[in-house]
């Protein structure tokens, strides 16, 4: 499928009687290919049942993919109810509020450079039998994080892709029981008794 995408770039030109190249802005719409696949070619790997979780996660060509969700921003009244699916939102954003413009830190600000940038951005998406899927950054992991001073609900057990490494406790998806046990131990130690009652394994591994 081709996605109409707005790009901006620098166009070099040499004014008359000048030796130094000048640059002006150029912009246009280009068609960027959204890769397509069939559900039968995908393998179910995980299911994330956590709050606002990813749902069923599939493996395709060595990467993990989950259905792309429609954000609350896309459902605002200003869009006139035209955004019904995550694919609608992707199409709208690429043609109306694209981010494929050159920035100060872009080494290649040419048209070819911006087209390459747009193609790389589209690699994050996959159209599966008409439904938009999004590539995950890594395998699902359990992530335990504490906040506040305890005596309530200051211990959380989350699912991340993957979890940040500079804080908290981490467990692979396959060790849900261990993650829950550790989360309960931490919560009880902090007197977060309400939290301790809610923890359960959220990830199903296939």
Give the pLDDT score at 196.
85
Query: For residues 172 and 85, what is the distance between their CA atoms, to the nearest angstrom?
Result: 31
- Cα 18 from chain centroid (whole Å): 47
CB within 8 Å of 135: residues ≥ 6 apart: 63, 64, 65, 123, 124, 125, 126
26 falls in which pLDDT band (50, 70, 90)? very high
Average pLDDT over residues 118-139: 96
User: Do residues 123 and 111 make contact, with C-beta atoms less than 8 angstroms apart?
Assistant: no
Peptide bond between residue 162 and the one before it cis (omega within 30 degrees of 0): yes
Give the pLDDT score at 77.
64
72, two tokens:
């609350």
Q: In the chain, pLDDT over 90 holds for what percent of residues?
A: 66
Query: For residues 20 and 136, what is the distance between their CA atoms, to the nearest angstrom?
Result: 45
Question: Any idea of the CA torsion for 171, 176, 179, 185, to the nearest 10 degrees?
Answer: -170
76 falls in which pLDDT band (50, 70, 90)? low
Query: For residues 78 and 82, what is the distance between their CA atoms, to the nearest angstrom?
Result: 10
- Total-model pTM: 0.87
Average pLDDT over residues 124-139: 96
Average pLDDT value for the chain: 90
Terminal Cα distance for the chain, rounded: 31
Element holding 121 (H helix, E strand):
helix 111-122
Give the pLDDT score at 60.
97
Query: For residues 20 and 23, what is the distance between their CA atoms, to the nearest angstrom?
Result: 10
Query: For residues 132 and 37, what is the distance between their CA atoms, to the nearest angstrom?
Result: 10
CB within 8 Å of 69: residues ≥ 6 apart: 86
User: Do residues 95 and 5 make contact, with C-beta atoms less than 8 angstroms apart?
Assistant: yes
How many CB atoms lie under 10 A from the CB of residue 206? 11
**Which tens digits make up the pLDDT trace of 147-166?**
876 566 689 999 999 877 77
Comparing 10-14, 39-43, 132-136, 159-163, which segment has the lowest mean pLDDT? 159-163
Comparing 125-129, 140-144, 150-154, 191-195, which segment has the lowest mean pLDDT? 150-154
Give the pLDDT score at 109.
87
CB within 8 Å of 40: residues ≥ 6 apart: none
**Which tens digits make up the pLDDT trace of 138-147?**
999 999 988 8
């Amino acid at each position: 499928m081709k996605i109409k995408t707005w790009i901006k770039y620098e166009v070099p030109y040499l004014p008359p009687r000048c030796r130094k190249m000048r640059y002006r802005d150029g912009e246009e719409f280009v068609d960027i290919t959204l890769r397509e696949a069939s559900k039968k070619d995908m393998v179910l790997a995980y299911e994330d049942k956590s709050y606002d979780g990813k749902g069923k996660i599939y493996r395709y060509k060595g990467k993990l993919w989950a259905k792309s969700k429609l954000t609350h921003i896309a459902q605002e009244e200003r869009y006139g109810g035209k955004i019904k699916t995550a694919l609608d939102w992707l199409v709208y954003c690429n043609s109306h509020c694209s981010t494929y413009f050159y920035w100060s830190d872009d080494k290649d600000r040419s048209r070819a450079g911006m087209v390459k940038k747009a193609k790389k951005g589209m690699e994050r998406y996959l159209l599966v039998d008409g439904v938009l899927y999004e590539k995950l950054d890594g395998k699902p992991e359990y992530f335990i994080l504490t906040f506040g001073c305890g005596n309530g609900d200051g211990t959380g057990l989350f699912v991340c892709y993957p979890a940040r490494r500079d804080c908290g406790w981490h467990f692979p998806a396959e060790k849900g029981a261990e993650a829950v046990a550790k989360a309960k131990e931490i919560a009880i130690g902090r007197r977060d008794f309400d939290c301790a009652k809610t923890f359960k394994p959220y990830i199903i591994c296939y």
